[in-house]
């Protein structure tokens, strides 16, 4: 593991720890309003201050980070499973299956990824699961392309041909030959895919078709806090900084793998 990757992993671990255990350190609810403490600056009672509804920013930011990390993890897992499975099947399942999956990928790529996610998000505004489906629908393509290219190369290798002549099944060949070659390439795709999933969800918050209030989401929080940048600049800076840190952590892990 390179020093860059270690830095990214350490930063990500710190953010995950805050997201999980942060709300336990202060009593309260991320959606509870306290109109007696509107735009309170950080102090001993409210460590990161309060927003324009008097809601505790320490707890809200932790909840928003939980949501972003959950979206990233689900999208990466789903996209990897679908993409690798489809890529291996396309490379080993015959010409027609390969052409059919390639045509499906071409149709999905006909629209920019964010536009396609916006279409899905507009169908059921505020639905976490609809966003998850939409983002996963875009991200599996990268896994598909890499898995397909590697598998196509390996199907003609002497090792795979020998396994076939010895009567081993496709599952054994996948575990013995295809997966060891595909797996190292997936880490970088997963790291950047996680960052893109978080940014996509935040981008939808900017146009109010993502997660809806009163739930905490980093992109939505940035939009909500923008009118108060002059009265409470720290309020706008907090979700911006947190979003930048989690994306930076993912990118450092992805870059470290390629060095």
Q: What is the pLDDT of residues 51-68, one digit of tens each?
A: 989 999 999 999 999 999
- Angle (nearest 5°) at CA 192 between 191 and 195: 95
Residue 256: predicted pLDDT = 56
- pLDDT above 60: residue 258: no
Residue closest to 211 by CA, chosen among 135, 102, 142, 101: 135
Determine contact, residues 229/51, Cβ cutoff 8 Å.
Answer: no
Q: Residues 138-154: pLDDT tens digits? A: 999 999 999 999 999 98
Residue 257: predicted pLDDT = 53
Q: Can you list the alpha helix ranges (DSSP code H) found in the chain? A: 3-21, 57-92, 95-109, 113-123, 128-154, 158-165, 170-173, 179-206, 218-225, 233-258
Determine contact, residues 172/238, Cβ cutoff 8 Å.
Answer: no
- Angle (nearest 5°) at CA 193 between 192 and 197: 120
Q: pTM for this structure?
A: 0.88
Q: How much is the average pLDDT of 37-46?
A: 89
98 vs 77 pLDDT, higher one: 77
Work out the number of other CB atoms within 10 angstroms of the CB of residue 168: 15
Residue-wise DSSP of 228-256: GTTT-HHHHHHHHHHHHHHHHHHHHHHHH
What are the structure tokens assigned to 33, written together? 């309003």
Sorting pLDDT into bands at 50, 70 and 90, what band is 254?
confident
3-state secondary structure 102-125: HHHHHHHHCCCHHHHHHHHHHHCC
Q: Residues 111-132: pLDDT tens digits? A: 777 788 888 888 887 889 999 9
Residue 112: predicted pLDDT = 78
Phi, psi (deg, nearest 5) at residue 40: -75, 130
Maximum mean pLDDT: which of 8-17, 37-46, 225-234: 8-17
Cis check: omega of the bond before 214, within 30 degrees of 0: yes
DSSP assigned state of 130: H
């Amino acid at each position: 593991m390179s020093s860059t990757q270690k830095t990214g992993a350490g930063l990500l671990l710190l953010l995950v720890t805050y997201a999980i255990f942060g709300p336990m350190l202060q009593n309260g609810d991320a959606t509870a309003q306290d109109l007696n403490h509107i735009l309170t600056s950080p102090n001993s009672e409210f460590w990161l201050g309060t927003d324009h509804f008097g809601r505790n920013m320490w707890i809200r930011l932790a909840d928003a980070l939980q949501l972003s990390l959950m979206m990233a993890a689900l999208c990466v897992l789903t996209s990897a499973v679908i993409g690798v499975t489809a890529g291996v099947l396309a490379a080993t399942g015959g010409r027609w299956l390969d052409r059919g999956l390639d045509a499906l990928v071409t149709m999905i790529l006909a629209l920019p990824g964010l536009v396609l996610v916006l279409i899905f998000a507009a169908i059921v505004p505020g639905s976490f699961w609809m966003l998850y489906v939409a983002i996963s629908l875009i991200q599996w393509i990268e896994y598909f392309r890499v898995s397909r290219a590697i598998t196509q190369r390996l199907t003609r290798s002497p090792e795979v041909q020998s396994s076939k002549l010895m009567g081993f099944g496709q599952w054994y060949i996948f575990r013995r030959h295809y997966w060891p070659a595909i797996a190292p390439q997936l880490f970088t795709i997963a790291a950047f895919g996680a960052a893109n999933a978080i940014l996509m969800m935040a981008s939808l918050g900017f146009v109010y078709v993502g997660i809806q209030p009163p739930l905490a989401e980093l992109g939505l929080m940035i939009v909500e806090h923008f009118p108060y940048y002059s009265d409470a600049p720290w309020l706008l800076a907090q979700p911006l900084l947190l979003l930048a840190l989690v994306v930076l952590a993912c990118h450092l892990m992805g870059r470290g793998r390629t060095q």
